[in-house]
């Protein structure tokens, strides 16, 4: 049995005194303890500190003080976010000897300032370089809807913890698809904001020029609530370009009336299996979309994203690779080494392409407000799968899971990942991407709310 209500319902119940923060937390802890042996989403818990936080929320309410919008909502974070007093693992063995973080990451601070209660840290692909969270150091995270299958990555623990009902809210990162892939495979809501929208201060980097941070949630209104709490300028983070908070929660009710919604074709159909294509068709029908739109240079953008990720990731870890290569994740160490050896000319060319590419992508949004695409080519494969088939073609599994997400994040556009459940997926979810122009998260979230209200996109309880 999962938590008795969703993120937005928990926030409302605590705010109105229908449930205490401590009661919510104890239900969350019981759920984690009951399901964690099968899921392996957490790498660390902090239940006593969480109990103290929840007690403070309850004391505030008893005194009649105003509560934050997320008061009493339990949350957990991918273990690349700093938690004061704990070592930031970033999914690695190498980081274990690092000193503990001296302060919480900015986004962790913002959620706690909104009243949310931090319960622990979550499993991930080492240094965020992967799409499956088959972590050799901390074990693979299992898909709550079908243990033995992957949860996606690199924020697999973040997606699985929400899907398993362990917590209603988590934080993850997305460079090439690491929020959208776990959202798709685990059947939860996810938001990859505009590049530079949210502060990254206090998070372990992977690819500074593409890294995004964002939330997962078990309902769309809760996702919007969390996103509003996470927003804000950060003059101490040179990669945060936001100058103001732009709340989205009140805009959800506007729906998609008046919005120009299109369906990405070409590359996004060719690299989507039957279940993924049918998920898009269901979303499109619910949003009244029928026109097919061509996304420019998708294949080239994916190639440039690969080059950029390998080069920046390899450079970041070069010294460790020289002295501790044997301690790296076997699934990623070769890619880090090859990235460190890539010719500089490749990286320069990828960045030159990116400037032109972003201009082409942004031009699309003169004609369209929201574009729909599948989030993953297939439903979650079994752990250990080496090859997948897409429309009769054979692809290497792990890198190909990001076929449909990499071109979008390379442009920096905001995306809501919405959970759908096509019958062809054999009980597993397949998500769709709702893509908007940079800085228009509100439009993508409005489209997501329309899918939720229509009953087309939603989470499901597991049988755990």
CB atoms within 10 A of CB 49: 16
Q: Max CA-CA distance within the chain?
A: 64
**Between 7-15 and 21-39, two packed helices, what is the crossing angle to 10 degrees?**
160
CA–CA dist 252, 399 (Å, integer) = 34
CA–CA dist 346, 310 (Å, integer) = 11
Q: Which residue shows structure tokens 């965020």?
A: 128
Please report which helix (H) or strand (E) contains residue 432, including its range: strand 430-436
Determine contact, residues 180/448, Cβ cutoff 8 Å: no
Residues whose CB is less than 8 angstroms from the CB of residue 395 and which lie 6 or more positions away in sequence, other chains included: 377, 387, 388, 389, 403
Query: Which residues are identified as catalytic?
Result: 78, 154, 178
CA–CA dist 310, 313 (Å, integer) = 5
Is it true that the peptide bond before 318 is cis, omega within 30 degrees of 0? no
Tokens, residue 409: 């994040």
**Between 333-340 and 298-316, two packed helices, what is the crossing angle to 10 degrees?**
90
Q: For the residues of 160-214, what is the DSSP string, one character each? A: HHHHTTS-SEEEEEESSSTTHHHHHHHT-EEEE--TTSS--TTB--S-TTT-EEE
**Nearest CA among 407, 155, 428 for reference residue 273:** 428
- Residues linked to residue 436 through DSSP beta bridges, in sequence order: 370
Residue 208 zone, left/alpha/beta (φ > 0; ψ -120 to 50; rest): alpha
Please report which helix (H) or strand (E) contains residue 214, including its range: strand 212-217
Tokens, residue 115: 């009243």
Half-sphere exposure of 85 (CA within 13 A, CB side): 5
Determine contact, residues 429/405, Cβ cutoff 8 Å: no
CA–CA dist 150, 129 (Å, integer) = 15
Q: For the stretch 57-94, what's the b/e string if a residue is b when 16 or more beta carbons lie within 10 angstroms of its beta carbon?
A: bbebbeeeeebbbbbbbbbbbbbbbbbeebbbbbbbbb
């Amino acid at each position: 049995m999962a938590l008795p209500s969703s993120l937005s319902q928990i926030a409302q119940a605590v705010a109105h005194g229908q449930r205490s923060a401590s009661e919510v937390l104890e239900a969350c802890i019981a759920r984690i303890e009951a399901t964690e042996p099968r899921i392996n989403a957490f790498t660390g818990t902090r239940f006593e500190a969480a109990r103290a936080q929840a007690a403070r929320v309850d004391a505030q309410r008893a005194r009649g003080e105003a509560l934050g919008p997320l008061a009493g909502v339990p949350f957990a974070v991918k273990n690349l976010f700093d938690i004061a007093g704990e070592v930031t693992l970033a999914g690695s063995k190498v980081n274990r000897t690092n000193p503990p973080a001296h302060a919480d990451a900015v986004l962790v601070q913002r959620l706690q300032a909104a009243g949310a209660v931090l319960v622990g840290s979550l499993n991930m692909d080492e240094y965020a370089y992967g799409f499956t969270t088959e972590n050799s150091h901390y074990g693979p995270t299992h898909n709550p809807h079908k243990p033995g299958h992957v949860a996606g990555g690199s924020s697999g623990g973040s997606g699985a913890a929400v899907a398993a009902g362990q917590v209603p809210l988590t934080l993850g990162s997305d460079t090439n698809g690491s929020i959208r892939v776990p959202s798709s495979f685990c059947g939860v809501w996810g938001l990859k904001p505009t590049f530079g929208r949210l502060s990254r201060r206090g998070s372990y980097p992977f690819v500074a020029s593409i890294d995004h941070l964002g939330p997962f949630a078990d309902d769309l209104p809760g996702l919007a609530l969390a996103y509003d709490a996470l927003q804000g300028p950060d003059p101490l983070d040179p990669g945060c370009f936001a100058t103001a908070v732009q709340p989205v929660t009140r805009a959800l009710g506007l729906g998609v009336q008046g919005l120009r919604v299109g369906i990405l074709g070409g590359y996004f159909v060719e690299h989507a299996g039957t279940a993924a294509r049918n998920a898009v068709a269901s979303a499109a029908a619910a949003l009244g979309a029928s026109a097919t739109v061509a996304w420019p240079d998708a294949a080239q953008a994916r190639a440039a994203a690969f080059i950029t990720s390998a080069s920046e990731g390899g450079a970041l870890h070069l010294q460790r690779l020289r002295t501790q290569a044997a301690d790296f994740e076997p699934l990623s160490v070769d890619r880090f080494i090859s990235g460190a050896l890539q010719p500089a000319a490749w990286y320069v060319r990828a960045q030159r392409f990116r400037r032109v590419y972003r201009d082409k992508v942004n031009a699309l949004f003169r004609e369209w407000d929201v574009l729909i695409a599948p989030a993953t080519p297939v439903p979650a494969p079994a752990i250990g799968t080496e090859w997948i088939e897409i429309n009769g073609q054979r692809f290497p599994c792990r890198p190909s899971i990001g076929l449909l997400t990499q071109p979008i994040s390379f442009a920096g556009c905001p995306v809501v990942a919405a959970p759908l459940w096509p019958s062809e997926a054999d009980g597993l979810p397949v998500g769709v991407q709702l893509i908007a122009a940079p800085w228009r998260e509100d439009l993508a979230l409005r489209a997501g709310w329309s899918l939720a209200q229509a009953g087309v996109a939603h989470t499901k309880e597991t049988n755990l």
